[in-house]
């Protein structure tokens, strides 16, 4: 392991690459002239090796690229979730902020991986529905075993051409772009953003679907589901443990 890969391995920012299968029309269209995946190798936790994806270029050379995680064409959604997202959600539930974002060219599988094109509850469910499910499972466990309150709020925005649109705003609300402000205590926040209290997976799912519908029919933002628009779903989780004098709990 060289110095660069060691630095990457110790970083709090982890980078994963996911290679989706090529579609037949892509293969037909390229007429043999395309970069193909020779092999993917997962990271090895034991040896602390990074994952590797090897591509064959058109000129026949092989090039290797290294990432914290590499997911191959056959990798299932639940596997990506367990390796990549579950540890981040676990940290969030311990009070450490976490973000997962997908980056890549149109058609590479960002929406599929994140799971917000259609909110399904089967093996195709992406990271977001699975994360929401993990959060509510945690809430259920913690509230049934400890004397504590958990409150979760959800917001959903779309960024399109420098405009911020509140996807959960009531239909009658003004659709002017919202403004990002910075506060010494709260940090960055979107002023006037609609936040709903959610107490179950189903409620969270219903709000997400409502936001996706608003995204589709947003009057001021044409072509809103294009590659130039970005959506941000935020869950704010507040957990208050009531201390028991017999058995004091750490916050």
Interface positions with Mg ion (CB under 5 A):
110-111
Report, in Å, the least distance between residue 80 CB and ligand ADP: 8
Binders of ligand ADP among residues 85 to 124 (CB under 6 A) are: 104, 106-112
128: enclosing H helix or E strand = helix 127-145
State the number of binding residues for ligand ADP (CB under 6 A): 10
Q: Which is nearer to ligand ADP, 25 or 182 (CB)?
A: 25
The Cα–Cα gap between 174 and 172 comes to 7
Q: Which is nearer to Mg ion, 110 or 215 (CB)?
A: 110
Binders of ligand ADP among residues 204 to 223 (CB under 6 A) are: none
21 binds, among ligand ADP, Mg ion, none (CB under 5 to 8 A by kind): ligand ADP
Residue 178 and residue 194 in contact, taking contact as beta carbons nearer than 8 Å: no
Three-class DSSP category at 176 = coil
| Tokens found for residue 221 | 């933002």
By the rule CB under 6 A, 72 interacts with ligand ADP? no
111: enclosing H helix or E strand = helix 110-114
The one-character DSSP state at 244 is: B
Report, in Å, the least distance between residue 112 CB and ligand ADP: 3
Closest CA to 141 of 132, 129, 150: 150
Report, in Å, the least distance between residue 110 CB and Mg ion: 5
Report, in Å, the least distance between residue 111 CB and Mg ion: 3
Query: Where does residue 103 fall: left (phi above 0), alpha (psi -120 to 50 degrees), or beta otherwise?
Result: beta
Q: Which is nearer to ligand ADP, 20 or 138 (CB)?
A: 20
Report, in Å, the least distance between residue 228 CB and ligand ADP: 11
Report, in Å, the least distance between residue 211 CB and ligand ADP: 16
Q: Which is nearer to ligand ADP, 141 or 226 (CB)?
A: 226
Closest CA to 130 of 174, 86, 193, 72: 86
54 binds, among Mg ion, ligand ADP, none (CB under 5 to 8 A by kind): none
Cross-strand pairs, 190: 180
Closest CA to 118 of 102, 107, 129: 129
Question: Where do contacts with ligand ADP occur on this chain (CB under 6 A)?
Answer: 20-21, 104, 106-112
């Amino acid at each position: 392991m060289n110095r660069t890969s060691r630095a990457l391995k110790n970083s709090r920012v982890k980078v994963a690459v996911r290679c989706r299968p090529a579609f037949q029309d892509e293969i037909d269209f390229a007429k043999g002239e395309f970069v193909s995946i020779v092999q993917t190798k997962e990271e090895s936790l034991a040896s602390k090796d990074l994952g590797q994806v090897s591509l064959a270029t058109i000129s026949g050379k092989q090039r290797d690229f290294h990432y914290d995680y590499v997911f191959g064409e056959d990798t299932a959604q639940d596997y990506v979730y367990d390796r990549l997202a579950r540890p981040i959600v676990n940290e969030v539930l311990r009070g450490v902020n976490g973000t997962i974002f997908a980056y890549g060219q149109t058609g590479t599988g960002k929406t599929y991986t994140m799971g917000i094109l259609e909110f399904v509850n089967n093996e195709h469910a992406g990271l977001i529905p699975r994360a929401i499910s993990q959060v509510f499972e945690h809430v259920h466990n913690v509230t049934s075993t400890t004397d504590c309150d958990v409150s979760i709020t959800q917001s959903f925005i779309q960024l399109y051409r420098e405009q911020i649109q509140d996807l959960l705003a009531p239909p009658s609300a003004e659709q002017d772009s919202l403004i990002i402000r910075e506060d010494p205590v709260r940090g960055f926040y979107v002023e006037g953003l609609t936040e709903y209290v959610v107490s179950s997976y189903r409620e969270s799912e219903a709000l997400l679907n409502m936001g996706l519908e608003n995204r589709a029919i947003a009057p001021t933002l044409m072509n809103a589901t294009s590659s130039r628009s970005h959506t941000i779903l935020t869950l704010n989780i507040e957990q208050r443990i009531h201390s028991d004098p017999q058995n004091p709990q750490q916050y």
